[in-house]
A and B are shown apart, each in its own frame.
Chain A
Amino acid sequence: MPPPLPSALRQFGKPRINRTASPVLAFATPWLLVMLGSLSPSWPVIASAPVLPPFGFLLLVGWQQLRPGLFPVWAGWPLGMFDDLFSGQPIGSAVVLWSLTMLALDFLEHGFPWRGFLLNWLVASAFIAAYLFLALQFANLAGSAAGAMVLLPQLAVAILAYPITARLVGLADKFRLIPIRSI
């Protein structure tokens, strides 16, 4: 039998009398997490081929599916702008695609409000595939000429990485609502 957790740790994240979540943390966590994902080109991985999933995009979709309406509908363009600064795509690529994603996910949310995780994963996979393909087209417009086959390994990795990022989003959501402010 595992030893019981210290009581301070067990109380972590649980609702408490006269404590409430910090509004700063509750508001800023989702934005910061997506921006951290966008910083993935500065992570210590140097690749000669596109292999890492677009973490910023995965996290955006993850937040939108876990907590629809947490991000305003227009969140796609500021976050996309930030992503463009680091991703190597022509500037505007993520602004367009992330804005479209937010609008499309909002539409889906209102059209099909009851979904399980499998359906979410399926929807996210379709979005990831469309995102990678369109991002490739935008990159090709700006002078590159890579074929769509280059994307296949990255697409597989991204689709498999989605549940993990969704889990991460769930953790961040708990963290965001830790009751630390006394009222």
Chain B
Amino acid sequence: MAAPSNRRPGFSRRAQYGNFFGYIAAVAGLVVGVILLVVSTGNAGAFSGLRTVAADSTAPAAKVAAGARTGSQSLWQVLAGYFTSGARVARLEHEVAESRVRLAEQAALIEENARLKAMLGLTQGDQRPVIVTRMIGSTSSSTRRFATIGAGTSQGVRTGMAVRSPLGVVGRVIEVGASSARLLLVTDTDSSIPVRRASDGIQGYANGLGNGTVQIRLSTTGLNTLRAGDAIVTSGSGGIYRPGEAVAVVVSLTPDGAIARPLSDPGQTEFVAVEPLFEEIAEPAGPTARPSTAGKR
């Protein structure tokens, strides 16, 4: 039923005032909202306490839901598999043949690497993750790409830690609550990761585009030597991500770089590993470290 066109609710003074103050409250809310917006856009960390408390409070339920997610996803994959199996088998067989060769090369490289490291007297740092946890949610309706994981300060997660899945870099921790933490995904437009091409080490940056892909910008200007299918890995400069972790694969070229698709689709990832802060470990072994601090860790 349509409301009467006259907004006056009747002869009751009380109802009239209630109506009036309702509008006042609505406009006041609007003004407060503008102020909040100004504060929070000026300072991204503002209200992070509120947000983390909210994320902590919904984390237990979200963890249960996250368990159901992988189940439902595999169902869809099974259904889709019926339509694409023939082509996929052929492609996969081809890939396996290629991979065997690569694997042999890789084994040789690992052996050589170990030998060289032993020669230099470098030891592998403690690479064990801080914790392996579930991805429990992402801001799927906002243009900002944040995700929530089910571990926080009580599990040793700290701001700035890199998060990866078995397939590659997922993002890094930007806000930590007691039992949940918020990640900045690599596809967020605020995310910029120093990367290099895996094959030859051309340096560049991977900037998120907000639509599920990243833009690769090379530090070398002029010639764009990227090709579709190139693997992009972290270069390790900047100190957040360890060098050599897979980030993305180039899918199409742009005049000054390329569009690449992240390898670790967060939607396909159930468990992620939070890695210890890279700088703390790398600093003593770095070339600028003084000899006196070399033994400390």
**Residues of A bordering B, CB below 8 Å:** 39-55, 68-69, 72-74, 76-78, 80, 84-97, 99-100, 102-103, 109-110, 113-114, 135-136, 138-147, 149-151, 154
Check A73 against B33 for contact (C-beta < 8 Å).
no
CA A151 – CA B137 in complex, angstroms?
A: 20
Check B209 against A99 for contact (C-beta < 8 Å).
no
Contacting residue for A53 out of B51, B58, B141, B188, CB 8 A: B141
**Given A43-B137, A77-B32, A103-B30, does the pair A48, B54 have CB atoms closer than 8 Å?**
no
Within 8 Å CB of B136, what residues of A? 42
**Given A49-B210, A92-B37, does the pair A77, B29 have CB atoms closer than 8 Å?**
yes
Q: How many residues of B contact A (CB 8 A)?
A: 65
Known: A45-B140, A96-B30. 16 other contacts (CB 8 A): A41-B142, A48-B138, A50-B139, A50-B140, A50-B142, A86-B54, A91-B40, A96-B34, A97-B33, A139-B143, A141-B41, A142-B44, A146-B209, A149-B211, A151-B143, A154-B141
Of the listed residues B25, B30, B212, the one surrounded by the most CB atoms of chain A closer than 10 A to its CB is B30
Check A46 against B3 for contact (C-beta < 8 Å).
no
Check B33 against A92 for contact (C-beta < 8 Å).
yes
Within 8 Å CB of A88, what residues of B? 139, 142, 144-146
CA A136 – CA B39 in complex, angstroms?
A: 17
Q: Secondary structure of the A side of the interface?
A: helix
Of the listed residues A48, A84, A86, the one surrounded by the most CB atoms of chain B closer than 10 A to its CB is A48
Within 8 Å CB of B50, what residues of A? 85, 91
Q: Mark B175-198, 1 if CB is under 8 A from A, else 0.
A: 000000000010111100000000
Q: Mark B119-163, 1 if CB is under 8 A from A, else 0.
A: 000000000000000011111111111111000000000000000
Shortest Cβ distance from A160 into chain B, in angstroms? 14
Check B139 against A41 for contact (C-beta < 8 Å).
yes
**Given A39-B58, A110-B3, does the pair A74, B65 have CB atoms closer than 8 Å?**
no
Is B108 at the interface (CB under 8 A from chain A)? Answer: no
CA A148 – CA B93 in complex, angstroms?
A: 41
CA A46 – CA B29 in complex, angstroms?
A: 32
Ranked nearest first, the 10 interchain pairs of A and B with the lowest CB-CB distance are A77-B29, A88-B139, A92-B36, A95-B33, A92-B37, A113-B2, A146-B210, A44-B69, A49-B212, A74-B25
Is B47 at the interface (CB under 8 A from chain A)? Answer: yes
CA A97 – CA B62 in complex, angstroms?
A: 27
Q: Mark B13-55, 1 if CB is under 8 A from A, else 0.
A: 0000000001101111110111111111100101100110011
Within 8 Å CB of A113, what residues of B? 2-3, 5
Contacting residue for B189 out of A74, A89, A138, A146, CB 8 A: A146
Is B7 at the interface (CB under 8 A from chain A)? Answer: yes
